[in-house]
C-alpha cells in the first residue's frame, strides 16, 4: 500500500493528521498520550468529505481525548533503587546492586525487582539491561501462545519479532504472515499480551477493524474488550507515544 500525501487540517479546533492512501475506506484513530487524531483516507475523497466524516465522530474523538488526559503516566525512570517498575501487569520496587559480576535482573519475590550491575554503570546502560531482560521474558512467553492459537484461529505465523514501537502495541504483514509485538507488552498482564497477539493473528484473516474483525475477536476471545480497557487504563511510559 502506497502513501500518497500527508497533511495537517483543523476540524472544529482539533488538529488532524491526514494521510491519503490507496485504500477503500476511511479510518480514524485517536492515540495516546495526548489524544492525537489521525485519519487515513482514500485518495478519491476530497477534503470536504474527510471533514464531514471527522465532524460526525467529534463526540467519540473528544471522549477518547478526555480518557487519555486522565490516564496515569510514569515519570522518567532514573533506574535507581526505590523506583517502581512493571512486569506482567504487576508493580515491583527496583533494587539496584553494584557488584563485580555479570549484569542480571531477577525477581526476588512478589514486590522486588533486583538489578545487578557493575560499579559505575550509568542510567542508559541500566535501562538497556532491563530492556534486554524484558525482551527475553517475551521470547519465552510468545511461542507457546502462537502454538496454541494457530490451530484455533486457523492461521500460520511465518515470522514474529519484538521491537520498541511508538505507534502500536503490535503490527502484522498479512502477505508475509509476519507479526511484530511491542517490547512494552512485557510490562503488561499476560492477558494483555495474549489479546494483542490474537488481535494481530486475526488480522491475518481480516485486515481491517470492521464488523467481521470484531466478530472474529468475539469468537476467539470473548472478553477481549476487557484486555483492551486494561491497556487503556495502565500507566503510560514517559516516552512520547503516538499509538
pTM of the shown model:
0.73
Burial of 45 (0-12, 13-18, 19+ CB in 10 A): middle
Q: Provide the 3-class DSSP secondary structure of residue 13.
A: coil
Across the beta sheet with 27-31, the strand order is: 3-11, 14-21, 36-42, 27-31
Q: How far apart are CA 150 and CA 172, in angstroms?
A: 15
Secondary structure of 24-72 as H, E, C letters: CCCEEEEECCCCEEEEEEECCCCHHHHHHHHHCCHHHHHHHHHHHHCCC
- Domains belonging to the chain, first-starting first, are 3-69 (no CATH), 84-233 (3.30.2010.10)
pLDDT tens string for the chain (243 positions)? 565 788 999 999 999 999 998 888 898 988 866 788 999 999 989 989 999 999 999 999 998 888 777 665 566 789 999 999 999 999 999 999 999 999 999 999 889 999 999 999 999 999 999 999 999 999 999 999 999 999 999 999 999 999 998 768 999 999 999 999 999 999 999 999 999 999 999 999 998 888 999 999 999 999 999 998 888 776 555 443 333
Backbone dihedral angles phi then psi of residue 131, each to the nearest 5 degrees: -65, -35
> Do 217 and 201 touch, CB atoms closer than 8 A?
no
Q: Provide the 3-class DSSP secondary structure of residue 155.
A: coil
Amino acid at each position: 500500500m502506497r502513501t500518497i500525501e500527508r497533511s495537517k487540517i483543523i476540524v472544529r479546533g482539533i488538529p488532524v493528521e491526514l494521510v491519503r492512501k490507496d485504500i477503500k475506506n476511511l479510518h480514524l484513530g485517536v492515540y495516546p498520550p495526548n489524544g492525537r487524531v489521525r485519519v487515513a483516507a482514500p485518495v478519491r475523497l476530497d477534503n470536504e468529505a474527510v471533514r464531514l466524516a471527522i465532524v460526525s465522530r467529534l463526540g467519540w474523538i473528544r471522549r477518547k481525548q478526555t480518557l487519555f488526559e486522565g490516564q496515569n503516566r510514569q515519570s522518567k525512570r532514573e533506574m535507581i533503587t526505590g523506583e517502581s517498575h512493571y512486569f506482567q501487569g504487576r508493580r515491583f520496587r527496583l533494587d539496584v546492586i553494584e557488584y563485580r559480576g555479570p549484569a542480571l535482573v531477577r525477581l526476588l519475590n512478589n514486590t522486588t525487582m533486583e538489578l545487578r550491575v557493575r560499579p559505575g554503570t550509568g542510567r542508559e546502560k541500566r535501562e538497556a539491561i532491563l530492556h534486554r531482560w524484558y525482551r527475553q521474558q517475551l521470547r519465552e512467553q510468545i511461542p507457546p501462545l502462537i502454538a496454541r492459537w494457530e490451530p484455533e484461529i486457523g492461521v500460520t505465523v511465518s515470522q514474529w519479532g519484538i521491537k520498541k514501537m511508538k505507534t502500536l502495541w503490535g503490527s502484522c504483514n498479512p502477505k508475509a504472515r509476519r507479526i511484530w509485538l511491542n517490547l512494552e507488552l512485557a510490562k503488561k498482564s499476560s492477558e494483555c499480551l495474549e489479546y494483542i497477539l490474537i488481535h494481530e493473528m486475526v488480522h491475518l484473516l481480516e485486515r481491517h477493524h470492521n464488523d467481521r474483525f470484531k466478530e472474529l475477536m468475539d469468537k476467539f476471545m470473548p472478553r477481549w474488550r476487557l484486555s483492551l480497557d486494561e491497556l487503556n487504563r495502565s500507566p503510560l511510559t514517559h516516552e512520547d507515544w503516538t499509538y
